[in-house]
Structure 1
Amino acid sequence: MTNTKELSVEDKLRAIYDLQLIDSRIDEIRNVRGELPLEVEDLEDEVAGLSTRSEKLKGELEVIEEQIKAKKIAIEEHKEVIKKYTKQQESVRNNREFNSLTKEVEFQELEIQLAEKQIKEMKASIEHKKEVISNLKEKLDAKSSHLKHKKSELDAIMAETQKEETFLTEKSAEYSAQIEDRLLAAYNRIRSSVRNGLAVVSIERGASAGSFFTIPPQTQVEIASRKKIITDEHSGRILVDTQLAEEEKEKMEQLFSKF
Structure 2
Amino acid sequence: MAKKKELTVEERLRALYDLQLIDSRIDEIRNVRGELPLEVRDLEDEVAGLKIRLEKLVSSLEIIDNDIVGKKNLIEEAKALIKKYSEQQKNVRNNREFNSLTKEVEFQELEIQLAEKHIKEFKAQIEQKKEVISETKDKVKERETHLKHKKGELDAILAETEKEEQALISKSEDYKSEIEERLVAAYTRIRKNVKNGLAIVPIERGASGGSFFTIPPQIQVEIASRKKVITDEHSGRILVDAELAEEQKAKMEKMFSKL
TM range, smaller chain:
over 0.9
Residues 1-259 of structure 1 mapped to structure 2, 5 A cutoff: 3-4=3-4, 6-259=6-259
Structure 2 residue runs of 5 or longer lacking an equivalent are none
- How far the C-alpha of 1:127 sits from its partner, in A, is 0.7
How many percent of aligned residue pairs carry the same amino acid?
A: 72
Is this contact kept in 2: 1:223–1:230, CA < 8 A? yes
TM superposition outliers: structure 1 runs of 4+ over 4 Å: none
Query: How many residues are treated as equivalent by the alignment?
Result: 259
The amino acid across from 1:44 in the alignment is: E
- How far the C-alpha of 1:85 sits from its partner, in A, is 0.8
Stretch deviating more after TM superposition (178-187 or 215-224): 178-187
Is this contact kept in 1: 2:208–2:232, CA < 8 A? yes
SS at match of 1:203: strand
Is this contact kept in 1: 2:5–2:178, CA < 8 A? no
The amino acid across from 2:96 in the alignment is: R
Stretch deviating more after TM superposition (6-15 or 148-157): 6-15
Using a 3 Å threshold, how does the CA distance of structure 1 residues 196 and 2 change in structure 2: closer, same or farther? farther
How many angstroms apart in 2 are the aligned matches of 1:121 and 1:185? 71
Return the TM-score normalized by structure 2.
0.95
- How far the C-alpha of 1:2 sits from its partner, in A, is 6.3
- How far the C-alpha of 1:238 sits from its partner, in A, is 0.7
- How far the C-alpha of 1:140 sits from its partner, in A, is 1.2
Is this contact kept in 2: 1:2–1:177, CA < 8 A? no
Is this contact kept in 2: 1:224–1:240, CA < 8 A? yes
How many angstroms apart in 2 are the aligned matches of 1:98 and 1:246? 112
CA-based RMSD? 1.4
1:218-241 CA distances to partner (integer Å, 9 max, x unpaired)? 111111222221111111111111
How many angstroms apart in 2 are the aligned matches of 1:209 and 1:233? 13
The amino acid across from 1:82 in the alignment is: I
Return the TM-score normalized by structure 1.
0.95
How many angstroms apart in 2 are the aligned matches of 1:3 and 1:73? 89
- How far the C-alpha of 1:41 sits from its partner, in A, is 1.5
Is this contact kept in 2: 1:78–1:111, CA < 8 A? yes
SS at match of 2:196: coil
How many angstroms apart in 2 are the aligned matches of 1:117 and 1:7? 91
Is this contact kept in 2: 1:86–1:105, CA < 8 A? yes
SS at match of 1:165: helix
Structure 1 residue runs of 5 or longer lacking an equivalent are none
Stretch deviating more after TM superposition (17-26 or 185-194): 185-194
- How far the C-alpha of 1:181 sits from its partner, in A, is 2.5
